[in-house]
Amino acid sequence: MQGKTAKKKPGALRIIIVGCGKVGHTLTEQLVREGHDITIVDTNERAIQDTTEIFDVMGIRGNGASLSVLEEAGVDKADLVIAVTGSDELNLLCCIIARKHGEGIATIARVRNPDYAEELSFLRAQLGLSMIINPELEAAREIARVLFRPQALTVSAFAKGQAELVRFKIPAGNALCGRKVMQLESIFGFGYLVCAVERAGRAHIPDGSFELLEGDDVTILASTRDSQKIFESLGMRRHAVGSCMIIGGSKASYYLARQLLARKVEVKIIEQDAARCAELSTLLPGAVVICGDGGDEALLREAGIEDVEAFVPLTGLDEENILLTLYAKRIPGLKTITKINRITFGDVIDGLELGSVVYPKYITSETIIAYVRARQNTIGSNVETLYHLFGGQAEALEFHVGADAPVIGVPLMKLKMKPDLLVACIGRKGKLIFPRGQDAIRADDTVIVVTTHSGFKDISDLLA
């Protein structure tokens, strides 16, 4: 056993994280920041040592699917077990054992194998798990959303897919330049809200008098139906990509190709391993699978990189993905998306101006943190969705409002809310409301909030 002696803080959860890889490390970092008591379990002594020294958590070396190891980790008193090892089967087994042994314990398993992709709901229900997460599938969904909105840097889904948070940079000479937020209704003829702006590395929650400038990184919320109209209204018209080249034959590549092919997008995949190429050709008969080194410039040109509309490197090496993107960005009009798993130098990544960047480990951690915050709340207005914006400087959260929430029935203009906070949207009986001051939240609404505050667990946290 390494690290601190666990001492539960008021309101904190006791959480056991099994697996200390990229996702486990990121989860530990973010859950410690939110004040929870963490114990990590891994068979790798070095991984445990590195994590316990950085975050001052308790670490245990051993097999997380072993009852004796889980007992040593304190499963009897734990609130939640999260299994994120490299083995789907080990993750599931770990959760089953923890659930059978720990009374009332919640369990979350990472399951990545495409063989299980269609069975996640069945597995979750039959095994009694609180949540099953597939990071590669979620990353592929995020990439696909951006490819269908290629002007955007990121596109995040809310309200069960009914709303989208669209992020983009304001180009030179655009209609937004020099306009105040209150002056945009003449541009957008549909429901929307400017939720957040990053300028010179600092996040702002804008009010109506906030003036937009060239180069601002802007996040706008709109219905999924209207989100494409944002760009049409701004003269930034560009159709969804019709062709895409994917480098690497990973699980994420498979998931992405399957989604693109379903939307009639032409897909080319370049993969080095001949056996994997044969497998992908069988799984994805509509795709062109090329066996070769995706880092070979001559092969990229021969495969037609200059003729496709999108380029997505999904190799297992962040450095290779970055270099491939920098190479591809020299081709005019080519939409690029870069997947980064490990590198944490955010300022360096931003300085490279890669454009759209996807971090699968953060997609996983945000989903789990939303669940953890929901378990912590006492009033019953659960956090349903959570996204970090601008490197964690701001958060976009979706709450489901309980019947006894203190915000119900009071016009928003009369609620004494914290500063640097926007109630961006209210979902009610399948309809989206972009609220004005006289609108009020009702029981059973879903409410989307954007704020620079961190750690909101309940809708009541909005109040000053």
287-319 pLDDT per residue, tens: 999 999 999 999 999 999 999 999 999 998 999
Report how far residue 437's alpha carbon sits from residue 228's, in angstroms, rounded to the nearest whole number. 27
For the chain, the average pLDDT equals: 90
pTM for the whole thing? 0.84
Closest to 74 measured CA to CA, from 95, 90, 58: 58
Task: List 359's β-bridge partners, or say none.
Answer: none
Task: List 280's β-bridge partners, or say none.
Answer: none
Least confident range from 377-381, 447-451, 452-456: namely 377-381
378-393 pLDDT per residue, tens: 555 678 888 988 888 9
The token pair at 374 is: 């929901």
Report how far residue 395's alpha carbon sits from residue 421's, in angstroms, rounded to the nearest whole number. 10
pLDDT value, residue 5: 46
Task: List 243's β-bridge partners, or say none.
Answer: 266
The amino acid at 93: L
Where residue 283 falls among pLDDT bands split at 50, 70, 90? very high
pLDDT value, residue 371: 86
Q: Domains in the chain, ordered, with CATH? A: 14-133 (3.40.50.720), 140-233 (3.30.70.1450), 243-358 (3.40.50.720), 362-462 (3.30.70.1450)
217-268 pLDDT per residue, tens: 999 999 999 988 999 999 987 788 999 999 999 999 999 999 999 999 999 9
DSSP 191-222: -EEEEEEEETTEEE---TTPBP-TT-EEEEEE
Pairing of strands 335-339, 310-313: parallel
Closest to 443 measured CA to CA, from 412, 399, 413: 399
Closest to 105 measured CA to CA, from 114, 117, 113, 96: 96
